Structure 1
Amino acid sequence: MKNQLMSKQIQRLSLSVALAVSATHGLPRFVAGALAAELPQVSNQALPVSSGASSNSATVSSLSDIYVLGPGDAVTIAIFNVPEYSGPQQVLADGTLNLPVVGRVSVSGLTLQEAGNRISSAYSRELRYPQVTVVLTAPRPLRVAIAGEVSRPGLYTLTPENNAQFPTVAQALQTAGGVTQAADLHRVQLRRSTGNGPVQTITLDLWELLNNGNVRQDLALRDGDAIVIGETATVNIAETNQLSASNLASNVDQAMTVAVVGEVFRPGAYEFGSGASNAAGANTPSNKGRTTVTQVVQTAGGSKAS
């Protein structure tokens, strides 16, 4: 009976607890009770996947994965039977290659095959039927924009591992400090510029990656990509716990501010996290896991008897 009473008190208090925390600290912006009209809907059921998610695999398949050259790329030019014109080259800051005899040839924004055709055309004035092959030997660092529900949104420079393996969406999110608890991982937007073509936008379901190991949702990035993570409309307790245990989550030890109002002995704003101090000036014990409603209520002096 005592446990049931305590449970009811916590439920009432949870409607008066405001987690007024910015997304930069990786926590949901739940504002309740007198501080907002209503809480987001809480559910223990799986979030419904949008109708567009059923065609997500086809959308992923249609995304252009062709590498286009840009300043900083290291390539090897091989001209058949003409070793004196062949050899390593690097795309210059203006997007050109400085080639023997023919001089500068613009290759920025071209695929490797297109670059080979353009170089072949340039050498056609000097050689008869030149056969040119362009091989990417060391890709340039990638500039990727990350926005939305991540700890540190901004522009990041990512370097391909061993000059071969391109960074993925998950690795980029980890570099940005992880996603917040309010992130909608069912609908992660990846926007890609395809040279002179239109910008492609697809929706990834990173929950498929976490739940089923579907690595097709964790796409390799290209220079100029943008990742946008929106805020979820509902709170799924099971998924929140699963996200917190994954390596995509933000640092749970970061300090956060929690405002408590209602039937508690010491309402007010409290700091949680490593080395944080509360409104009364006392240090709040650091916790290794996520801050819970029970911990918040205890810090606020406990609930008043109804």
Structure 2
Amino acid sequence: MGHLRFNMLQQVTTPLAIAGILTLTPLMARPTMAQMAPITPTTYNFGVNPLADYILGAGDILFVEVVNLPSSVTNQKQFTVNLDGSVVLPLAGRLVVEGLTVPQAEQVILNAYSKVMRFPAVTVSLQTPRPMKILVAGEVSRPGSYIVPFTGVSVSTGAGLGDTMSLSGGLTWPRLSRALTQAGGITQDADIRNIEVRRQLGNGQTAVTKINLWELIQSGDATQDITLRSDDVIVIPKATTVNAAEAVRVASATFSPQVINVQVVGEVLKPGLVQVPANATLTQGIGAAGGFNVQRANTSRITLVRLNRDGTVSRRRIPFSMAAQPSANSNPVLQQGDVIVVERSGLTQFGDAVGNALRPLGALGTLGIIINLLD
């Protein structure tokens, strides 16, 4: 008889009975260690479905569906994670989900409903993720912290799993290339073969992986463009050497700047600040300034002045040829802030020197010198 009364109590849906049931639920239920699947940096897979290891936090919106939950209780199915990391659910009460993955949160919620319902069926999904904060350091135009938006149509696992995960509104999970673009693009000194991504696992440990974006450019290996998680740290190291031909291909990638600014001074038709494509060579820089002033320019020797990222300034005299292919020696790829100096030819220098020497004498003095030279 006592067993029968207990079953009947579980099925009562009056407000008074529900209030009594809620007294059985702790104010703040926390997950046990058994519910936390152990993840270590050595076993973590950066290509995993982003919804499988997403760590919940304040601002996330969850879709929680509980089968057979009385409609008299509530029809609400969307719940926001509060600042204290909890969600408040009908009958189940306040549950802490911050620091859990979506599958772990589903288990915690299922356990809570098992205390107030018979054989509950619970489905939990991430409806709308909180803004994703990413730190980008190293060889990018604007290192710093960024809020990377969710955009697009769907969320692909990016790991060859053959399925696509959708979020509310058809949002796409941000990828590495998007974060680099938002940081102004990589510099031309970036070593894109050894990009490092550091990720907090939610258990006090950090997983690190190396990404080779050259494989994405060279062979179309899309798995290199991994999906990001909030609080990821991206570090782009500096390359020890730069291949000019490769630099042209890298500069055409979406994660490179679209244009750069360079100064062209000296014997060109339109000296000053010019904008050129990010993969522009010295030849294109001179062309953007209108080309040589052919009557005055030394077209075979150009000086390239570059402010390096460590604060030093390099100055190179380049044996220039308009027909030169991209190369570090004769037709280098330009960088943001480069200064191209087109020098005067020897004849122009002599003519300018004579003109400067004769200028103080005035027209009559100049005429007298010319007459003496003719005599």
Q: Which structure 1 segments of 5+ residues have no match?
A: 1-57, 256-270
Tell me whether 1:129 sits opposite 2:119 in the alignment.
yes
**Is the contact between residue 193 and residue 214 of structure 2 (CA under 8 Å) also seen in structure 1?**
yes
Tell me whether 1:192 sits opposite 2:234 in the alignment.
no
Equivalent residue for 2:230, pick from 223, 231, 241: 223
Residue range with higher mean Cα deviation, 288-297 or 84-93: 288-297
Question: TM-score by structure 1 length?
Answer: 0.66
Shift of 1:185: 0.4
Higher relative contact order (CA 8 A, sep 6+): 1
Equivalent residue for 2:276, pick from 288, 292, 300: 288
Match of 2:87 in 1: 97
Q: Deviations over 1:58-112 (max 9, x none)?
A: 9755798622211111111111211546611111122110112332211011111
Q: Deviations over 1:202-239 (max 9, x none)?
A: 00100011111110000111111111100000121111
Query: After TM superposition, which residue ranges in structure 1, 4 or more long, deviate above 6 angstroms?
Result: none
Aligned equivalents of 2:175, 2:183: Cα separation in 1: 13
C-alpha root-mean-square deviation of aligned residues, in Å? 2.8
Say which SS state the counterpart of residue 234 (structure 1) adopts: coil
**Is the contact between residue 112 and residue 135 of structure 1 (CA under 8 Å) also seen in structure 2?**
yes
Match of 1:212 in 2: 219
The amino acid that maps onto 2:96 is S
Say which SS state the counterpart of residue 178 (structure 1) adopts: coil
**Is the contact between residue 139 and residue 164 of structure 1 (CA under 8 Å) also seen in structure 2?**
no
The amino acid that maps onto 2:63 is T
The amino acid that maps onto 1:98 is V
**Is the contact between residue 151 and residue 179 of structure 1 (CA under 8 Å) also seen in structure 2?**
yes
The amino acid that maps onto 1:111 is T
The structure having more radius of gyration, on CA atoms, is 2
Q: Which structure 2 segments of 5+ residues have no match?
A: 1-43, 152-168, 287-301, 304-339, 348-375
**Is the contact between residue 68 and residue 110 of structure 1 (CA under 8 Å) also seen in structure 2?**
yes
The amino acid that maps onto 1:220 is T
Tell me whether 1:79 sits opposite 2:79 in the alignment.
no
Alpha carbons of 1:159 and 1:245: their partners in 2 closer, same or farther (altered >3 Å)?
closer
Say which SS state the counterpart of residue 274 (structure 2) adopts: coil
Shift of 1:251: 4.3
Aligned equivalents of 1:228, 1:188: Cα separation in 2: 6
Shift of 1:199: 0.8
The amino acid that maps onto 1:101 is L
Match of 2:341 in 1: 299
Aligned equivalents of 2:86, 2:182: Cα separation in 1: 31
The amino acid that maps onto 1:210 is I
Equivalent residue for 1:149, pick from 122, 139, 152: 139
Match of 2:185 in 1: 178
**Is the contact between residue 139 and residue 163 of structure 1 (CA under 8 Å) also seen in structure 2?**
no
How do residues 228-243 of structure 1 correspond to structure 2 at under 5 angstroms?
228-243=235-250
Say which SS state the counterpart of residue 286 (structure 1) adopts: strand
Match of 1:265 in 2: none
Say which SS state the counterpart of residue 110 (structure 2) adopts: helix
Aligned equivalents of 1:102, 1:193: Cα separation in 2: 30
Aligned equivalents of 1:177, 1:225: Cα separation in 2: 18
Q: Deviations over 1:233-286 (max 9, x none)?
A: 01211111112222222243335xxxxxxxxxxxxxxx45xxxx78xxx95252
Say which SS state the counterpart of residue 288 (structure 1) adopts: strand
Aligned equivalents of 1:77, 1:63: Cα separation in 2: 20
Aligned equivalents of 2:119, 2:237: Cα separation in 1: 53
